[in-house]
Amino acid sequence: MIAIDGQPILTAAQMRAAEDAAIAAGSSVTALMQRAGEGIAAATRRLVAGAEVLIVCGPGNNGGDGYVAATALAGLGHPVRVAASGPPKTDAAIAARAGWTGPIEALTDATPAPILLDCLFGTGLTRPLAPEIDAALARLSHAARLVIAADLPSGTNADTAEAPDWAKARPAALTLALGALKPAHGLHPAAAACGTIRLIDLGIDRPDAVTVAARPALPQPGPASHKYTRGMVAIVAGAMEGAARLAAVAALRSGAGYVALYGGSGQGGPDAIVHRPYEPEALADERIGAILIGPGLGRDDEARAHLQALIEADTHRLVIDGDALHLLDPDALRRRHNPVVLTPHAGEFHALFGTPDGSLLDRARTAAARAGVIVVLKGPTTIVADAARVRIHLAGNPWLSTAGTGDVLAGTIAAQLAHPHADPMAAADAGVWLHARAAWIAGKSFIADDLANALTPARAGA
Ligand SMILES: NC(=O)C1=CN([C@@H]2O[C@H](COP(=O)(O)OP(=O)(O)OC[C@H]3O[C@@H](n4cnc5c(N)ncnc54)[C@H](O)[C@@H]3O)[C@@H](O)[C@H]2O)[C@@H](O)CC1
Ligand SMILES: Nc1ncnc2c1ncn2[C@@H]1O[C@H](COP(=O)(O)OP(=O)(O)O)[C@@H](O)[C@H]1O
Ligand SMILES: [K+]
């Protein structure tokens, strides 16, 4: 059982292909199932302190994992019962079922136990749960002290992240992803139904274009550093200066060496922020590493002109956020040479790109490919994508749902992007990671100013 940072995420079809490749290379479904079932048994035993476990088994290989886990737990003297929705149908599950010598109850009248181990369906789900199965899981999960899901809470669609009613009402305490994570482990509503997620590694080779974000490697200042080598951020201020100031504080506290606000009243905020009048020539300064436009910019003609000038000048890396996303033609970005990061929330993303096919992960990647940019699609799970890669961030928390936290994120990303030689995708990733870390440091009921301030300890600990 291992932590999920940096781990690949595979769709159900990719998982089947990876499993087929492992089998072609000499493994077998039975061997993989043995490893999965034993891993589930070991993780369960560690968590439940001797309490009785009811394992519910379905007809496919998820059920097969359950029979292996039941046999392993019983072999260790752990109290365990098994209930099934019907007979096993795959060869490996039939063999696993044959290894279990205890009784098998019918799912619909099984008596509950303190621990429910859910092995009914995993990635092979082909249709929503029948009402009597959902009802049985609702009854057994409510009566249990703890629910553990094998691979996914049964009834979850691995790719779209739709979740069944029983699991939305009674999330698992622990979900053990088998072989690799699936999109549903990261995307809501399914992610909330999974509880804590851990991986049981089955030794299968997996593509890594889509992964859970890992802890970033952040540059540290050295003896030769000065303010420009740490990265200079320019922020275009507009109608609501407070938003641009929040972004400026965030940029400074997350590692930028120099932050200047262009335009606005020239006042307010910490003295470390430099105020300058808005002049296109000033923004051509070669020492600027990245320019942020959008927080509090307004949506009038002046704002539109400022955005257009920056996009056309193509002299610097850009972060485009907030109001600027409402003024943007994403297709115009394709002509640019310097990297661009867009930071839309779901509504802004929809207004910019409509609803491309597929899961949120596919949509973010499709949009990034269309505009030739890096997309940071913000939400309870934040997705960072370029045309080829997707990183998902699960570490934020719901206290971030307060005004101004998006401005803080934009400034944090701009600071990472401004660092000389920063890889743009890694910079966007690092920004989201630092922002989430700051949210945990800021505690509960924080305001965006507290979050920006918490970036100092977040950056210090990274
Ligand atoms: N991918 C891998 O490398 C491994 C996968 N394993 C397990 O295998 C699982 C996938 O196994 P399967 O492909 O057999 O699929 P599942 O065991 O998830 O379920 C498929 C079975 O359920 C039936 N079914 C699907 N939706 C249903 C519904 N709504 N109501 C009633 N019946 C329904 C199908 O007809 C089929 O018989 C994984 O989730 C994992 O638990 C492990 O055993 C070993 C390694
Ligand atoms: N329920 C939530 N759980 C986790 N993160 C959230 C949640 N709601 C919002 N966030 C995060 O808070 C930030 C909000 O940004 P945004 O929507 O632009 O707000 P604003 O424009 O008010 O600053 C994003 O980083 C988003 O991922
Ligand atoms: K399951």
Asked whether residue 284 carries a pLDDT value surpassing 90, the answer given is no
Reported as a pLDDT band with limits 50, 70 and 90, residue 279 is confident
Kindly calculate the radius of gyration of the chain based on its CA atoms and give it in whole angstroms. Answer: 25
Q: Which is the closest atom of ligand 1 to the Cα of 92?
A: 43
Cα gap 150→225, rounded to integer Å: 50
Amino acid at 395: A
Distance 350 CA to ligand 2 centre (A): 16
In what helix (H) or strand (E) does residue 228 lie, and over which residues does it extend? none
Reported as a pLDDT band with limits 50, 70 and 90, residue 265 is confident
Reported as a pLDDT band with limits 50, 70 and 90, residue 264 is confident
| Residues in the ligand 2 pocket, defined by CB under 6 Å | 322, 345, 378-380, 382, 396-398, 400-401, 403-407, 409
Listed residue (382, 330, 394, 326) closest to 356, CA to CA: 330
Per-residue pLDDT of 402-447, as tens digits, reads 999 999 999 999 999 999 889 999 999 999 999 999 999 999 999 9
Asked whether residue 275 carries a pLDDT value surpassing 90, the answer given is yes
Is 447 exposed, middle or buried, given 0-12, 13-18 or 19+ CB atoms closer than 10 A?
middle
- pLDDT value of residue 336: 94
CB 56 within 8 A of CB 66: yes
Closest ligand to C-alpha of residue 150 is: 3
Lowest mean pLDDT among 71-75, 247-251, 358-362: 358-362
Angle at 398 between CA 394 and CA 403, to 5 degrees: 120
Which residues are annotated as part of the binding site? 61-65, 118, 122-128, 151, 154, 243, 296, 345, 378-382, 406-407
Q: Which residue from 350, 383, 401, 412 has its CB within 8 A of the most atoms of ligand 2, so it is best to mutate? A: 401
Domain ranges of the chain: 12-212, 232-460
Amino acid at 109: D
Which backbone phi and psi does 118 adopt, to 5 degrees?
A: -95, 105
CB 134 within 8 A of CB 109: no
In what helix (H) or strand (E) does residue 399 lie, and over which residues does it extend? none
Complex ipTM, two decimals?
Answer: 0.93
Amino acid at 349: F
Is 424 exposed, middle or buried, given 0-12, 13-18 or 19+ CB atoms closer than 10 A?
buried
Cα gap 195→185, rounded to integer Å: 9
Residue nearest to atom 24 of ligand 1 (CA): 125
232-460 — its CATH code?
3.40.1190.20
Lowest mean pLDDT among 70-79, 214-223, 264-273: 264-273
In what helix (H) or strand (E) does residue 80 lie, and over which residues does it extend? strand 80-84
The domains spanning 12-212 and 232-460 adopt the same CATH topology? no
| End-to-end C-alpha distance for the chain, whole angstroms | 25
Cα gap 428→411, rounded to integer Å: 11
> Does residue 59's CB lie within 6 angstroms of at least one atom of ligand 1?
yes
Q: Which is the closest atom of ligand 2 to the Cα of 379?
A: 27
Structure tokens at 152: 């996914």
- pLDDT value of residue 268: 85
Structure tokens at 301: 């003609």
Asked whether residue 71 carries a pLDDT value surpassing 80, the answer given is yes
Listed residue (141, 161, 139, 165) closest to 152, CA to CA: 161
Residue nearest to atom 21 of ligand 2 (CA): 406
Fold observed for domain 12-212: Rossmann fold (3.40.50)
Structure tokens at 5: 């940072």
Query: Beta strand pairing status for 382-385 and 390-393?
Result: antiparallel
Strand, helix or coil for residue 20: helix
> Does residue 58's CB lie within 6 angstroms of at least one atom of ligand 1?
yes
Distance 68 CA to ligand 1 centre (A): 15
Amino acid at 29: V
Per-residue pLDDT of 99-137, as tens digits, reads 999 999 999 999 999 999 999 999 999 999 999 999 999
Cα gap 120→151, rounded to integer Å: 10
Listed residue (172, 138, 148) closest to 48, CA to CA: 148
Cα gap 382→376, rounded to integer Å: 7
Residue nearest to atom 14 of ligand 2 (CA): 406
- pLDDT value of residue 453: 97
Residue nearest to atom 26 of ligand 1 (CA): 125
